[in-house]
C-alpha cells in the first residue's frame, strides 16, 4: 500500500452532506410553518458557508457559526427567530442525515484491512458521531477527531498536531488526507506536511490556488491510486 495511514474527511467525502442539509432545512421550515423554496435554500447556504469560512480562518468560533447562523439567515428574510432554538431544532433533523456518498462504505471496508483509518472533520461532535454510527462507517476507524473536541479546526496546524498525537508510530511520509475541501482538507494537509487527495467530482473552472498531491473524481478511484 502506498500509504499506511488514511485521514478521511466526512461531509461530501464519505457522507452526502448536501442531501442531509436539504432534508434538515425542509423539515425545519415545515416545523416552523414557513414556505421552503430553492431560493431560500441557496441563501441559507451562502450565509452558512461564509460563516464556516470565517471559522476556518479563526475569525469565528464554532459556537458563533452554528448558534448565530439562523438568526443571520432569517434576518435577511425579515423574519425574527430565536437563533439558538432554531439551531437546536435543525441539529436534530441533521443528525438523521447519514446518506452514504457513492460506495463509500465499501471503499472504507476495503482500506480498513490494509491501513489505519482516521476521521478528521470540522463540525459538531454529537452530530458527526451519530451520522457515522448510523451509516455503519464508525467501526472501521481507529479514532474520530472532530474540531469541536480539539479546540482547533482544519486547516490549522494545531488540529493536525492534535490528530498526530492520537496516531501511534506516525510516519508522515506514509500518511495522506482525503477530502473535498481545498481550503480545509488540502490546505490543512499542506500545513501539516502530509500528502493530500482532493475529491473533486467536477473539473475546476479556474487554475487552483492550492495544489493537492493527487486528485480523484470519486472515492472508488482510490483503489487504483493507492494500490
Q: Which residues are catalytic?
A: 9
- For residue 214, the cross-strand partners are 197
Location of C-alpha cell 454529537: 126
76 Cβ contact partners less than 8 Å away, ≥ 6 residues apart:
43, 47
Location of C-alpha cell 488526507: 177
CA–CA gap between residue 28 and residue 40 (Å, rounded): 12
CA–CA gap between residue 189 and residue 187 (Å, rounded): 5
CA–CA gap between residue 81 and residue 85 (Å, rounded): 8
Amino acid at each position: 500500500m502506498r500509504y499506511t495511514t488514511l485521514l478521511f474527511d466526512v461531509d461530501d467525502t464519505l457522507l452526502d452532506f448536501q442531501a442531509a442539509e436539504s432534508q434538515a432545512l425542509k423539515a425545519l421550515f415545515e416545523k416552523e410553518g414557513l414556505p421552503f423554496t430553492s431560493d431560500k435554500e441557496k441563501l441559507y447556504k451562502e450565509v452558512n458557508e461564509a460563516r464556516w469560512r470565517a471559522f476556518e480562518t479563526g475569525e469565528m468560533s464554532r459556537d458563533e457559526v452554528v448558534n448565530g447562523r439562523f438568526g443571520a439567515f432569517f434576518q435577511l428574510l425579515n423574519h425574527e427567530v430565536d437563533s439558538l432554538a432554531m439551531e437546536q431544532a435543525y441539529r436534530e433533523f441533521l443528525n438523521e442525515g447519514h446518506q452514504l456518498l457513492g460506495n463509500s462504505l465499501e471503499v472504507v471496508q476495503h482500506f480498513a484491512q490494509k491501513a489505519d483509518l482516521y476521521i478528521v472533520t470540522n463540525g459538531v461532535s454529537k452530530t458527526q458521531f451519530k451520522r457515522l454510527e448510523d451509516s455503519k462507517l464508525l467501526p472501521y476507524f481507529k479514532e474520530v477527531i472532530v474540531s469541536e473536541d480539539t479546540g482547533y479546526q482544519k486547516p490549522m496546524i494545531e488540529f493536525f498536531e492534535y490528530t498526530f498525537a492520537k496516531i501511534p508510530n506516525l510516519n508522515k511520509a506514509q500518511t495522506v488526507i482525503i477530502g473535498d475541501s481545498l481550503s480545509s482538507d488540502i490546505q490543512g494537509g499542506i500545513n501539516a506536511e502530509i500528502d493530500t487527495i482532493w475529491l473533486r467530482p467536477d473539473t475546476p473552472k479556474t487554475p487552483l490556488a492550492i495544489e493537492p498531491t493527487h486528485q480523484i473524481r470519486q472515492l472508488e478511484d482510490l483503489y487504483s491510486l493507492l494500490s
